[in-house]
């Protein structure tokens, strides 16, 4: 039986619960960091030989090939179940339609005095996409990372993914790669693959940015290599917060809470409701539905340790709690949910109404499922086309325009004690 705690919001108990959640991913694992640092340095020095040695060590055997041949990728698509391919194509269409609207435009501003100012926007040259393998293989993540990269104008996408135990690639991952136009696929996983992408090896090209989910070793490698290469974000455990009033359906609430709890024993699933009756009926539904779910043990552990039902007095109070937690996924199962959208400032992705279940966002609707976690939705945004763009500003000034501005520039430069800055303006006159 899943033991999920009930908390009556009183300004104290819910605060203690949120503090407990913050400890989930706040501690840096020093042992993991030491191991990852060693892997990074070994790959930096040893290149592909080091990567292959780690693959053999961690995955049991070397794969049949290091880089997956293009005909193997194409064959995976040809041989795939057509219903799966059609579902993926529908998802790609929705993801593409949503993300095309995010593309930034360059601009130029020609002023009356002859000065020209502007911004140039273009896609990154090369991006690395990490895709977990084995039982945690998520072809949907390939779509969510590759589609916006392509729309942004990224010239080349390099995918790395660990081999299955028999040394072959996951076919579903290859299908997704083929549908999204991934350029090259290498059979390597873990921190060693991240290091290879960051520094480049004889065969794996050096990339400008690394995106995609992974285990603690992958996440630590991305964190340590940030600065050498850009990254999407350092993701913590998955989380969902469902806001529900007395008219919400407990069956839906329970199902949606467990859809995130099944990710990981550290995942957090929270219900904030104005109805104690809904709280009790949701607990009953959780205990009924969980019996038939394949990841029952993970769900029960997640709900017991990091789940909660918060019972509050008003919907405004529920909105305040949601903004305080800043969840990765936020569901609004209130009557007339659109009325509350303006109140909700801190969330990775917001799902409005009883038929906008969170898995709709994971796979299909169009908005990205790579979202900020652990409260970082207060200042981070979902992965987007903008994540794969870079911007340069440009400035052109005429002699007359600089003469008009020179005294101000010199004054500011000399106030800062940077006389060479001031001199670079003075010498022109």
Residues 144 and 213 in one domain: yes
Q: What confidence tens digit (pLDDT) does each residue in 325-358 have? A: 999 999 999 999 999 999 999 999 999 999 999 9
The answer to whether the annotation marks 260 as part of a ligand binding site is yes
**Low-confidence winner among 71-75, 149-153, 233-237 (lowest mean pLDDT):** 233-237
Q: What is the pLDDT of residue 135?
A: 60
Is 390 among the domain residues? no
Residues 46 and 155 in one domain: yes
Q: What is the pLDDT of residue 182?
A: 97
Q: What is the pLDDT of residue 125?
A: 97
Of 206, 217, 213, 216, residue with least CA distance to 233: 213
Residues 341 and 289 in one domain: yes
The two structure tokens encoding residue 333: 């199962």
The answer to whether the annotation marks 369 as part of a ligand binding site is no
Residues 220 and 256 in one domain: no
CB-count exposure of residue 166 (10 Å: 0-12, 13-18, 19+): exposed
The answer to whether the annotation marks 336 as part of a ligand binding site is no
Q: Judge contact between 44 and 201, C-beta under 8 A.
A: no
d(CA 138, CA 146): 13
Is 277 among the domain residues? yes
pLDDT band at 60 (very low <50, low <70, confident <90, very high): confident
Q: Is the C-alpha dihedral spanning 167, 234, 156, 172 positive or negative?
A: positive
Whether residue 99 lies in the annotated active site: no
Could you tell me the residue range of the domain that residue 185 belongs to? 30-231
Residues 103-123 have a mean pLDDT of 95
Is 55 among the domain residues? yes
Residues 185 and 44 in one domain: yes
The two structure tokens encoding residue 423: 């001199």
Q: What is the pLDDT of residue 274?
A: 95
Is 388 among the domain residues? no
The answer to whether the annotation marks 329 as part of a ligand binding site is yes
pLDDT band at 237 (very low <50, low <70, confident <90, very high): confident
Residues 222 and 149 in one domain: yes
Q: Which entry of 329, 331, 358, 369 is annotated as an active-site residue? A: 329
Residues 253 and 306 in one domain: yes
Q: What is the pLDDT of residue 28?
A: 60
The answer to whether the annotation marks 130 as part of a ligand binding site is yes
Q: Which entry of 239, 262, 300, 328 is annotated as an active-site residue? A: 328
Of 176, 174, 169, residue with least CA distance to 146: 176
403: Cβ contacts below 8 Å, ≥ 6 apart: 429
Report how many domains make up the chain. 3
The two structure tokens encoding residue 316: 């405004």
Residues 11 and 104 in one domain: no
Q: Judge contact between 138 and 414, C-beta under 8 A.
A: no
172: helix, coil or strand? helix
DSSP string, 147-210: HHHHHHT-SEEEEEEPPPTTSPPPHHHHHHHHHHT--EEEE--HHHHHHHHHH--SSSPP-SEE
Average pLDDT, the chain: 93
The answer to whether the annotation marks 66 as part of a ligand binding site is no
CB-count exposure of residue 165 (10 Å: 0-12, 13-18, 19+): exposed
Residues 210-234 have a mean pLDDT of 93
Q: How large a percentage of the chain has pLDDT more than 90?
A: 84
The two structure tokens encoding residue 196: 């290879």
Look at residue 276 and tell me whether its pLDDT is greater than 60.
yes
Q: Which of 365, 384, 417 is the last residue of a domain?
A: 365
Which residue reads 């995918």 in tokens?
159
Q: What is the pLDDT of residue 363?
A: 94
Which residue reads 């995106």 in tokens?
211
Residues 201-228 have a mean pLDDT of 94
Q: What is the pLDDT of residue 379?
A: 92
Q: What is the pLDDT of residue 247?
A: 95
The answer to whether the annotation marks 421 as part of a ligand binding site is yes
Whether residue 22 lies in the annotated active site: no
CATH of the domain at 10: 3.40.50.1980
Residues 258 and 209 in one domain: no
Q: What confidence tens digit (pLDDT) does each residue in 2-50 have? A: 689 998 999 898 888 988 888 776 556 788 899 999 999 999 999 999 9
Residues 362-382 have a mean pLDDT of 92
Is 311 among the domain residues? yes
> Is the pTM value of this prediction over 0.75?
yes
Residues 113 and 222 in one domain: yes
143: helix, coil or strand? helix
Of 367, 92, 371, residue with least CA distance to 213: 371
d(CA 149, CA 48): 26
3-state secondary structure 63-125: CCCCECCHHHHHHHHHHCCHHHHHHHHHHHHHHHHHHHCCCCCCEEEECCCCCEEEEEEEECC
Is 373 among the domain residues? no
**Size (the chain), residues:** 429
The answer to whether the annotation marks 215 as part of a ligand binding site is yes
Q: What is the pLDDT of residue 1?
A: 66
Residues 180 and 283 in one domain: no
Look at residue 308 and tell me whether its pLDDT is greater than 90.
yes
Q: What is the pLDDT of residue 25?
A: 61
Can you point out the beta strands (E) in 266-365? 268-273, 308-311, 329-333, 349-352
Residues 183 and 59 in one domain: yes
Q: What is the pLDDT of residue 330?
A: 97
Q: Judge contact between 244 and 272, C-beta under 8 A.
A: yes
Q: What is the pLDDT of residue 27?
A: 55
Q: Provide φ and ψ at 50, rounded to 5°.
A: -70, -40
The two structure tokens encoding residue 159: 């995918």
Q: What is the pLDDT of residue 42?
A: 96
Residues 162-170 have a mean pLDDT of 88
Is 383 among the domain residues? no
Q: What confidence tens digit (pLDDT) does each residue in 124-138 have? A: 999 999 999 766 688
Q: What is the pLDDT of residue 165?
A: 85
Is 139 among the domain residues? yes
């Amino acid at each position: 039986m899943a033991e999920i705690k009930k908390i009556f919001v009183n300004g104290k108990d819910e605060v203690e619960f949120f503090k407990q959640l913050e400890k989930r991913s706040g501690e840096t694992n020093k042992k993991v960091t030491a191991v990852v640092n060693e892997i990074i340095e070994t790959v930096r020095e040893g290149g592909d030989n080091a990567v292959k040695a780690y693959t053999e060590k961690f995955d049991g055997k070397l794969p049949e090939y290091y880089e997956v041949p293009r005909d193997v990728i194409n064959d995976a698509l040809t041989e795939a179940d057509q219903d799966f391919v059609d579902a993926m194509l529908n998802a790609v269409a929705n993801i593409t339609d949503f993300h095309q609207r995010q593309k930034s435009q360059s601009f130029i501003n020609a002023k009356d005095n002859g000065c020209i100012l502007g911004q140039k926007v273009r896609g990154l040259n090369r991006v690395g996409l990490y895709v977990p393998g084995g039982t945690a293989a998520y072809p949907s993540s390939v779509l969510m990372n590759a589609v916006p990269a392509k729309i942004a104008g990224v010239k080349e996408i390099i995918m790395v993914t660990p081999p299955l135990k028999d040394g072959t690639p996951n076919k579903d991952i290859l299908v997704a790669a083929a549908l999204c136009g991934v350029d090259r696929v290498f059979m390597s996983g873990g921190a060693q693959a991240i290091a290879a992408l960051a520094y480049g090896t004889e065969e794996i090209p050096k990339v400008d940015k690394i995106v995609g989910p992974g285990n603690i070793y992958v996440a630590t490698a991305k964190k340590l290599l940030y600065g050498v290469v850009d990254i999407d974000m350092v993701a913590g455990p998955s989380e969902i917060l469902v806001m529900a009033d007395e008219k919400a359906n407990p069956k839906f609430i329970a199902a949606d809470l467990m859809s995130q709890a099944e990710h990981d024993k550290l995942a957090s699933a929270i219900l904030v409701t104005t109805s104690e009756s809904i709280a009790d009926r949701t607990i009953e539904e959780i205990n009924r539905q969980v019996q038939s779910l394949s990841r029952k043990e993970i769900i029960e552990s997640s709900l017991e340790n990091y789940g909660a039902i918060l019972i509050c007095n008003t919907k405004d109070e529920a909105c305040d709690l949601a903004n305080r937690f800043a969840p990765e996924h936020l569901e609004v199962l209130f009557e007339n949910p659109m009325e509350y959208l303006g109140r909700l400032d801190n969330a990775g992705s917001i799902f409005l109404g009883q038929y906008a279940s969170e898995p709709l966002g994971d796979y299909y609707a169009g908005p990205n499922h790579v979202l900020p976690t652990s409260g970082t939705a207060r200042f981070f945004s979902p992965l987007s086309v903008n994540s794969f763009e870079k911007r340069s500003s440009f400035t052109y000034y005429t002699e007359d325009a600089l003469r008009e501005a020179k005294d101000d520039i010199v004054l500011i430069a000399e106030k800062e004690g940077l006389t060479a800055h001031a001199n670079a303006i003075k010498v022109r006159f």
